[in-house]
Amino acid sequence: MFNKKIQLHTEYINDIIERNNLKFPVDVFKLLDLLVLENDNFMVKALPLPISRPAMLIRRKDHSSEKILLAYDDNRPESEIRFSILHEIYHYLYHTNTIANCFHDDMEDDERESECNQFALNILAPEQIFLAYYIKNDFNIKRVAEEMKIPEYWAHKRLQMLRESSLAT
Ligand SMILES: [Zn+2]
């Protein structure tokens, strides 16, 4: 279920969200501004990307220094971009030694990939807030996903996880 490490990272980011008074649905780009210092070594850019990748981290060696580009495809649905940016940000913040492997993102069984997804879901759709949206929208998951600006797949996933954790208690 909940990995302790991811929970701590989630709490850390949620604290930043609260202190800066970011409202739901959280503005991912504003959050990004608060988390990383955009400079010559870290850039965020809209670029066309392969269809399976709404966002990706690209590591570039430049002379002796290393530069990171967080690219996102602004032709993709906003919900996918938001989720994917948070996924990549987790790689950037917490998988520092493995960024180069991020090209193999499609391996769903990869533990690091599921950590990134879990983190993105925690930030964009915390349990209590998700539940409030779910009730407000008459249990219509498609509308919940739209209002929370998260991919519908992940709204279903959150609901499934809530069901599993309530069955467990
Ligand atoms: Zn990844």
- Owning domain of residue 57: 4-124
Lowest mean pLDDT among 1-5, 67-71, 83-87, 126-130: 1-5
Question: How many Å lie between the centroid of ligand 1 and the Cα of residue 134?
Answer: 28
Could you tell me if 31 and 99 lie in one domain?
yes
Of 87, 108, 124, the residue at which a domain comes to its end is 124
Question: Six-digit token pair at 149?
Answer: 């600006």
pLDDT confidence of residue 109: 53
The chain-wide mean pLDDT, for the chain, equals 89
Residues 92 and 104 reside in one and the same domain = yes
Cα 49 to ligand 1 centre (Å) = 14
Q: Is the pLDDT of residue 126 over 90?
A: yes
Residues 120, 130, single domain; the answer is no
Regarding whether 94 and 160 lie in a shared domain, the answer is: no
Same domain, 133 and 111: no
- State yes or no: pLDDT of 41 exceeds 60: yes
- Give pTM, 2 decimals: 0.89
Q: Which helix (H) or strand (E) holds 144?
A: helix 141-148
Residue with tokens 């769903």: 108
